[in-house]
Amino acid sequence: MTLENLKKRIKSTTDLRDIVSTMKLLSSVSIGPYEKALISLKEYGKTLESAFLGLILNEKNITPPPLPKEKSFKTIAILIGTDNGLVGKFNRDVINYADSYFKAHEYDPNALIYLCIGKRISALLNTRQELLAASYPISNSLKEIASIASEILKKTDEIIIQQKVKQVLIFYNHREAGQQQKTGKRQLIPLPKNTFSALKQKRWEGKSFPLITANKEALFSALSHEFLTITLTGVLTASLAAEHYARMVNMQQAEKNIDESLEIMNLEYQQARQTAITDELIDIVSGAESMKKKATKNLHY
């Protein structure tokens, strides 16, 4: 390889490193706002729990609807992936985790209805000819996440009305602060019974007990819908934080690989340049010797 080609290769690799470093920085910066949003959602969730507690204390018999026992009922699986690449096995991990869960719990594959969030995970699922009811793009904007969650819940309600749906499960990647990223599952519908069981054991902490005059069933329905919305919004936010973390880690590894390649190329360039200089000096010395011999020969004549 010529010196000029090596120089161009080093230049293009250096430019690539700048791009990778920028992407790593952007992903690193993006994680913070999502983690702050998750904290806010958690606090809002506590407020909702207090509302549920007030309702339950006013009406002891309020409980979530029982889980249907008929085996013919279907399950909606919401898979959350990415729209963008450079995240390694991020999307594949979600699909594999869902497959393992359904296989371990002996779910009927024909009774599974999929909803995908993210163009890439939708494309992966489409290759398997699964029953994909709908797919949605995922926005990096925190303001748009709640809108996406509402749209998905609306679609979920339509499917529940049209078909016999037993439960709605969410599969997604998430990461707790200071821990490694992992894939998990969240039950969206029916509302977890343990949540209400735990609330029944609590006592109202405020000085004055809430008096609820509104229709109990309507209020329970409104609170349940809000609970589902923030649950799905929280899962989407956690997935986006995990996505940026995965991209940051991949870009960090790519940056390291590029640095190693640049070190090898720079060494190769220096060696080639040194060889070229040595060859040029040899040519100059050889030329000078040749001229000297020719001049000496002419003097003899």
Whether residue 59 is predicted with pLDDT greater than 80 in this model: the reply is: no
User: pLDDT-based confidence at 63, cuts 50/70/90?
Assistant: low
**Contact (CB, 8 A) for 227 and 153:** no
**Contact (CB, 8 A) for 23 and 253:** no
Whether residue 67 is predicted with pLDDT greater than 80 in this model: the reply is: no
pLDDT per residue as tens digits for the range 75-111: 999 999 999 998 999 999 999 999 999 999 999 999 9
User: pLDDT-based confidence at 221, cuts 50/70/90?
Assistant: confident
Tokens representing residue 43 in the block = 């606090």
Lowest mean pLDDT among 35-44, 187-196, 214-223, 244-253: 187-196
Residues of the chain with pLDDT > 90, as a percent, come to: 54
User: pLDDT-based confidence at 298, cuts 50/70/90?
Assistant: low
Domain covering 31-249 assigned CATH 3.40.1380.10 in the classification:
yes
pLDDT at residue number 296: 65
pLDDT per residue as tens digits for the range 155-182: 999 999 898 898 999 999 998 766 788 9
Tokens representing residue 92 in the block = 């594949």
pLDDT at residue number 219: 87
pLDDT at residue number 102: 96
Question: Across 119-133, 184-198, 223-237, which has the greatest mean pLDDT?
Answer: 223-237
Whether residue 207 is predicted with pLDDT greater than 90 in this model: the reply is: no
The structural domains of the chain, with segments of one domain joined by +, span: 31-249
User: Reading across the β-sheet that carries 112-117, which strands appear in turn?
Assistant: 132-136, 112-117, 74-80, 165-174, 182-189
User: pLDDT-based confidence at 212, cuts 50/70/90?
Assistant: confident
pLDDT averaged over every residue in the chain: 86
Query: DSSP per residue over 27-62, as a string?
Result: HHHHHHHHHHHHHHHHHHHHHHHHHHHHHHHH-TT-
pLDDT at residue number 65: 54
pLDDT at residue number 4: 84
pLDDT per residue as tens digits for the range 123-150: 999 888 778 999 999 988 888 999 999 9
Supply the pTM of this predicted model: 0.84
Say which DSSP state 110 is in.
G
pLDDT at residue number 73: 84
Higher pLDDT pick, 213 / 116: 116
pLDDT at residue number 33: 93
Lowest mean pLDDT among 62-66, 90-94, 98-102, 197-201: 62-66
